[in-house]
Amino acid sequence: MLTLLSSIPFCLNGTVGSANVKRAFTNMVKEKILIAVRPSDSLTAADKAMADEKRETDKMTLPPTAAELATIRKTLGAQKTAMDQRSDIVGLVGILVVKNQRAPIAGSTV
């Protein structure tokens, strides 16, 4: 919060100028203080599971029985477990900052 307040320059009359605000937010995005997010980024695991379950039950013409619902949940759980256990993680690189020099951390994936 301190970074946000200190990076917004105020005008003489105490109001925030629109050009100053735009510049301040642009700088915060460049410095990765602010990042873009999608509405789907704020969903919990339970929300995603319910959406997946609804998607599967919508494919059926009749409401599912308890046994069919249990089968759907078991199948979705197995798919989630398989995705969680994947070993080919791509795009994660550890960055170590040492005296203003950035270097990948040994053992990190590229």
- For residue 7, the model assigns a pLDDT of 47
For residue 43, give both structure tokens: 């969903």
Say how far apart CA 71 and CA 79 lie, in whole Å: 12
Every domain of the chain and the residues it spans: 1-36, 40-81
**For every one of its 110 residues, what pLDDT tens digit does the chain have, with 9 covering 90 and above?**
444 444 445 444 445 567 888 888 888 888 888 888 888 888 898 999 999 999 999 999 999 999 999 999 999 999 988 888 776 666 555 555 555 555 555 555 54
The pLDDT of residue 55 is 94
Structure token pair of residue 87:
């070993």
Rounded-to-integer distance, Cα 103 and Cα 35, Å: 22
pTM over 0.85: no
